[in-house]
Amino acid sequence: MTSLTPKPSQIESWDRLPSDWHNDERMDALFAFFKDRDLNPVHYDAKMKFWSETIINYCEDHGLLQIDIPTIVSRFRRKGKTSKCLDKIFEELIKQNRLISTSDYTYSQQSSWVSWTFNKLASPLTSWMSTKTPIDQEVFIIKELVDKKAQQVIETLQSNVYVPTFDCVISFSSFIDICRRCALFDENSINLIISALIRDKKILIDYIGDTKNVKVVKFVAPGTSNVRPITEIENSVLLLRHSKERLEEQLKKSDQQIEGLLTDIRRHLKNSNRTAAMKLLRKKKILEREHDKKESTVEHLNTVLTQIEQTDCSSLVINAYSSGVQAHKELLRKNGLTPDAVEDMIDEVHDMLDTQNELDEALSRPVVNDTTDMTELETELEELLNQPIPPTVTTPVPSNKEIITTSITDEAIKTPEQDPFADLELRLQKLGVQESTPHKVADIASSSH
């Protein structure tokens, strides 16, 4: 059986080569047959994960969307040794639905692309379509990589769109170039991507021109979910671009022919063969006139295409303005914003402010209910002002004797315990008795007893 990729690449040059690849002891264990999982489940799962992820990553980096065991065996040789456990790895990947046989993948697709694409895809693989094909002879498709690469191709195509009306249609050869830029190198992988994109309605393939001899690919425009049929405007623009490209190719050939004639003319002149040089010179002049005409036509086509693109851009601007106006109107309508509504709202605001001012004024008034007549108060105040002012009573200044008596009295009040008759003596002094003897005091005291 012939492998899908008969030219094996050097695994050592792979950027994502696992670090364990250079560990002899580790790789001897990984290259050996699988043992029963019950004996060592940790080692079994680690080995399964190593090979599964390594194979998928390698296929992704090298643009391989379909693989078989012989291809992987040839790619992953190490020091003359090959892995003895790949059949077990493939069985596990099939159980996980990460690998799908070519026949199963074919039957799962829509008939819209099977009719034309898979005939080309499966033509070299018809011997593998039997369901009884041994696993080491079956070709498997890595569905997760097909979907991932298909999305990458669409994103690359959409990144080159500047005018959606025209730029979403390209020649089939340009589409193949985009696929190769996405690391899709073999024809089978490219056909798988085409099939997946047609199935998901992301691209369509058609022919344009009077004789339908120009193969083009239209892809889904940015911001949309499905591709639409080619319109008359797109068809016209495509024909203009195709004509311009053909003229540019002819101009390149004319330049090469003119350069060749100049070389021959110089050679004939060097050999003194003026007749041959003159004949070639006339031919050169004819080619130059044709070259100038084609060059002028190319410039005219560029001008037309530029004007069409400008018209489309102007249309986009007008549509954007229209959408903005409609959105603004809808927003005003939804929120009930009209000139009359705004005027009514302003009037309500003024009324509310007037009401608030009245409330503030009412709240500033005193709460106590004072019923006093202000006229009576004014009359009484006037009478008080007209009454005569009473004379001021002056306090007489005490004499020295009184000051002494007062001081004595104060002293006696302060110290009654020292002299029991001090209070009596003070009273006699106040009654007018000027002199008092101890005998009199004693008599008064005895009489009091």
pLDDT band at residue 368 using 50, 70 and 90 as cut-offs = low
What's the token pair of residue 305? 């295409």
- Which pLDDT belongs to residue 63? 82
Q: Which residues of 237-264 are buried (b: 16+ CB within 10 A; e: fewer)?
A: bbebbbebeebeeebeebeeebeebeeb
Q: Residue 283: which domain range?
A: 231-315
Q: Which of 300, 315, 330 is the last residue of a domain?
A: 315
Which of 210, 212, 204, 219 shows the shortest CA–CA distance to 167?
A: 219
| 24 domain-assigned | no
* Terminal alpha carbon distance of the chain: 161
Burial of 166 (0-12, 13-18, 19+ CB in 10 A): buried
Over residues 385-389, mean pLDDT:
76
Residues 6+ apart with CB under 8 A from 444: 424, 428
Lowest average pLDDT, out of 131-145, 223-237, 320-334, 385-399, goes to 385-399
| 414 domain-assigned | yes
67 dihedral zone (left: phi>0; alpha: psi -120 to 50; beta): beta
| 224 domain-assigned | no
- Which pLDDT belongs to residue 46? 92
Q: Which of 315, 334, 355 is the last residue of a domain?
A: 315
192 in Cβ contact with 65 (< 8 Å):
yes
User: pLDDT tens digit string along 254-270?
Assistant: 999 999 999 999 998 99
- Which pLDDT belongs to residue 1? 44
Question: What is d(CA 237, CA 53) in angstroms, rounded to the nearest whole number?
Answer: 46
- Residue 49: pLDDT above 80? yes
Question: What is d(CA 110, CA 382) in angstroms, rounded to the nearest whole number?
Answer: 116
| 136 domain-assigned | no
3 in Cβ contact with 137 (< 8 Å):
no
Distances (CA, A) of 71 to 44, 124, 140, 354: 24, 16, 11, 91
pLDDT band at residue 372 using 50, 70 and 90 as cut-offs = low
| 121 domain-assigned | no
pLDDT band at residue 123 using 50, 70 and 90 as cut-offs = very low
The count of domains in the chain is: 2
Strand partners, 207: 215
The CATH number for 268's domain is 1.10.287
User: pLDDT tens digit string along 199-213?
Assistant: 889 999 988 876 777
- Which pLDDT belongs to residue 160? 86
- Which pLDDT belongs to residue 106? 76
| 257 domain-assigned | yes
C-alpha 354: how far from chain center? 50
Q: State whether residue 100 is helix, strand or coil.
A: strand
Q: Which residue has the higher pLDDT, 107 or 331?
A: 331
Distances (CA, A) of 231 to 20, 118, 166, 168, 241: 56, 27, 10, 11, 15
Lowest average pLDDT, out of 21-35, 194-208, 234-248, goes to 234-248
Burial of 72 (0-12, 13-18, 19+ CB in 10 A): buried
- Which pLDDT belongs to residue 112? 43
Which of 88, 100, 183 shows the shortest CA–CA distance to 141?
A: 100
Over residues 71-91, mean pLDDT:
89
Over residues 102-116, mean pLDDT:
62
Over residues 225-242, mean pLDDT:
83
101 in Cβ contact with 140 (< 8 Å):
yes
Over residues 181-209, mean pLDDT:
88
pLDDT band at residue 427 using 50, 70 and 90 as cut-offs = low
Q: Provide the 10 A C-beta neighbour count for residue 336.
A: 9
- Which pLDDT belongs to residue 388? 72
| 272 domain-assigned | yes
Q: Which residue has the higher pLDDT, 180 or 314?
A: 180
Q: State whether residue 313 is helix, strand or coil.
A: helix
Q: Which of 315, 331, 358 is the last residue of a domain?
A: 315
| 428 domain-assigned | yes
- Residue 20: pLDDT above 70? yes
Query: Which stretches within 226-273 are classed as H helix?
Result: 232-270
The pLDDT mean for the chain works out to: 78
